[in-house]
């Protein structure tokens, strides 16, 4: 015989579980939106502070409006970059920029810093379609442990004099911050190319392996291979 108090307890338990699940569903939906809005707002605010602060008092809208205009610094930065691009595309502008670069190359401390940064930016801009071209698996930091990396380019330059042309450059990022990591020179035969886009690889690294859109074969209890699809957790 079922006691009435037992039914009431179960009903309260189901209600608490329903409320808890709906709450976490709201958190999962709202958290990425709020973090994205916060990140964009923080970036725009930092650009505004650094760009608008350089304007003379007469040109600063805050001096006669009494309040800041959100996004004004970003708009000014975009316009200035466009003007610089137009200026550098003609003969006179190109000549002035070259003269300025020659002057910077004569400064002892500034020269290596400016030259290195320019080379990195130029290389990335020229190879933007090839950057992070493949996602791969490689054994790192020791045999038996596997890490996700990005094939960035074929080996070139000074390392090629000591290694064969069978090596490629692989960038192994850290979790959860993929902007830092290690540059490794790995043989092509020692890496496994994954059927993933660079965006999917980045999501897997940032999430610590919790997010992946690839289907993976797993073994069923009977020993048969079945495909495991990524599904959203039921809440």
Structural domain boundaries enclosing 205: 134-213
Residues 99 and 70 in one domain: no
pLDDT at 190: 92
Contact 167, 189 (CB under 8 A): no
Lowest average pLDDT, out of 23-27, 33-37, 47-51, 227-231, goes to: 227-231
pLDDT at 113: 82
Residues 11 and 57 in one domain: yes
Residues 104 and 156 in one domain: no
Residues 67 and 138 in one domain: no
Mean pLDDT for 209-215 is 68
pLDDT reading at 217 higher than 70 = no
Q: Which residue has the higher pLDDT, 3 or 186?
A: 186
pTM of the predicted structure, to 2 decimals: 0.52
Mean pLDDT for 69-93 is 86
Domain assignment present for 221: no
Domain assignment present for 84: no
Domain assignment present for 198: yes
Domain assignment present for 95: yes
Domain assignment present for 48: yes
Residues 122 and 141 in one domain: no
Residues 70 and 97 in one domain: no
Q: Which one of 55, 77, 99 terminates a domain? A: 77
Residues 121 and 158 in one domain: no
Domain assignment present for 235: no
The tally of domains found in the chain comes to 3
Residues 106 and 175 in one domain: no
Domain assignment present for 184: yes
Residues 188 and 148 in one domain: yes
Strands 167-173 and 181-187, by their bridges, are antiparallel
Mean pLDDT for 178-195 is 90
Residues 138 and 122 in one domain: no
Residues 132-151 pLDDT 10s: 778 999 999 999 999 999 99
Domain assignment present for 225: no
Q: What is the DSSP string of the chain?
A: ---HHHHHHHHHHHHHHHHHHHHHHHHHHHHHHHHHHHHHHHHHHHHHHHHHTTS-TTT-THHHHSS--TTHHHHHHHHHHHHHHHHHHSHHHHHHHHHHHHHHTTSTTHHHHHHHHHHHHHHHHHTTTTTT-EEEEEE-SSTT-EEEEEEEEE--SGGGGTS-TTEEEEEEE-SS-TTSEEEEEEEGGGEEE-S--HHHHHHHHHTTTS---S-EEEE-TTS-EEEE---PPP-
pLDDT reading at 130 higher than 90 = no
């Amino acid at each position: 015989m079922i006691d009435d108090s037992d039914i009431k307890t179960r009903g309260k338990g189901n209600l608490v579980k329903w409320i808890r699940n709906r709450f976490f569903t709201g958190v999962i939906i709202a958290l990425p939106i709020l973090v994205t809005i916060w990140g964009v707002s923080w970036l725009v605010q930092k650009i505004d502070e650094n760009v608008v602060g350089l304007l003379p008092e007469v040109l600063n809208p805050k001096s006669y409006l009494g309040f800041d205009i959100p996004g004004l610094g970003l708009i000014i930065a975009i316009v200035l970059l466009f003007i610089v691009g137009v200026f550098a595309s003609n003969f006179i502008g190109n000549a002035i920029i070259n003269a300025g670069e020659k002057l910077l190359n004569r400064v002892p401390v500034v020269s290596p810093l400016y030259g290195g940064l320019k080379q990195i930016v130029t290389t990335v801009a020229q190879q933007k379609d090839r950057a992070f071209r493949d996602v791969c698996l490689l054994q790192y930091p020791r045999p038996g442990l596997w890490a996700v990396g990005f094939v960035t380019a074929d080996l070139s330059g000074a390392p090629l004099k000591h290694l064969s042309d069978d090596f490629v450059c692989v960038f192994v990022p850290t979790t959860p911050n993929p902007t830092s990591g290690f540059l490794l020179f790995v043989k092509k035969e020692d890496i496994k190319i994954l059927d993933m886009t660079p965006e999917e690889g980045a999501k897997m690294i940032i999430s610590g392996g919790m997010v992946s859109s690839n289907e993976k074969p797993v073994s069923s209890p009977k020993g048969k291979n079945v495909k495991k699809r990524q599904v959203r957790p039921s809440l």
